[in-house]
Amino acid sequence: MPPAIELKDISKTFTERNWKTLLFRKPVQTLALDNVSLTVKKGEIMGLLGPNGAGKTTLLKIISTLVTSDSGEGTISGLSLATQSLAIRNKIGMVSTNDRTFYWRLSGRENLDFFATLYNLRGTKKTKQIEKSLQLIDMEDKAESRFMSYSSGQKQRLAIARAMLADPEVLLMDEATTSLDPIARRKLLNFTNETLAKQEQKTIIWCTHNLHEAEDICDRVTILHRGKVLYTGKLDEISISESQNIEQAFSALVSFSQNAPFTDAEIALTRKKSI
């Protein structure tokens, strides 16, 4: 079985152009991703970790075909990022914390009806998908309430329902627990792990800053820093000593990469020797 997501040597550079660069200096270039390779199996929850500016959002945009890479290649559900971007969009669902993408004066069901139409769903199929999505997130009793009346947890669950309308194979969860209280956060983590991953067999990219959250829900993690992959594997295996907790290990790995501009192979070899 081919992997759900496979990226090889993906690089992306952004060029800043404005009137200042045109008049006074050359355009400023920022390397967002530097030869990033990533493989995610079907049904796996892959955590995407890294400091601000590490390249996480850029990588999500490339996977969702919103941005094209400068070099490298990749496939989503066996479809090429370079030549089959439209087909890939039918395989992907995006969940973000931006509730402004919903219409606040419409009910939850009316919002889903609107977005289902954008997914090209019509008639009976649209009705069935809306009902299935509402059942999945357990919000059938709140479906007729206006979006503005929902709690943060309910808004986030509706965002998941919207992403599930097209029955995607891959879900991109970008800071999904932001602004949630501890109870709502725990419910969302359990729902993602038990229902989306295990029951629905969705492949999930879980982008977060919360290391304990990633340890709790992710099968494996990929740590990005300055556009490069520093580590891919189980989060509990990142520590180089029994006395080192996850935060210390994460900080040590990032600090090491900042102070020692080595290649990926050299970083991996140094960590192996430390162990």
The per-residue pLDDT for 125 is 94
User: Three-state DSSP class for 250?
Assistant: helix
CA distances to 204, 239, 257 from 155, in Å: 19, 36, 38
pTM for the full predicted model: 0.83
Domain count, the chain: 1
Task: Flag whether 224 is in a domain.
Answer: yes
The per-residue pLDDT for 185 is 86
Beta bridge partners of 93: 171
Task: Flag whether 163 is in a domain.
Answer: no
Count of CB atoms situated within 10 Å of the CB of 119: 17
The per-residue pLDDT for 106 is 96
The per-residue pLDDT for 204 is 96
How far is 260 from 67, CA to CA, in rounded Å? 30
Task: Flag whether 104 is in a domain.
Answer: no
CB of 56 closer than 8 Å to CB of 224: yes
Domain residue limits at 192: 6-91+168-274
Task: Flag whether 144 is in a domain.
Answer: no
CA distances to 92, 206, 270 from 246, in Å: 31, 17, 18
CATH number at 49 reads 3.40.50.300
The per-residue pLDDT for 270 is 38
Per-residue pLDDT of the chain (275 residues; tens, 9 = 90+): 789 999 999 999 998 777 776 777 777 888 999 999 999 999 999 999 988 888 999 999 999 999 999 999 999 999 999 999 999 998 999 998 777 889 999 999 999 999 999 989 999 999 999 999 999 888 999 999 999 999 988 998 999 999 999 899 999 999 888 878 888 888 889 999 999 999 989 999 999 888 889 999 999 999 999 899 999 999 888 766 555 677 777 777 777 666 655 455 444 433 443 33
Task: Flag whether 242 is in a domain.
Answer: yes
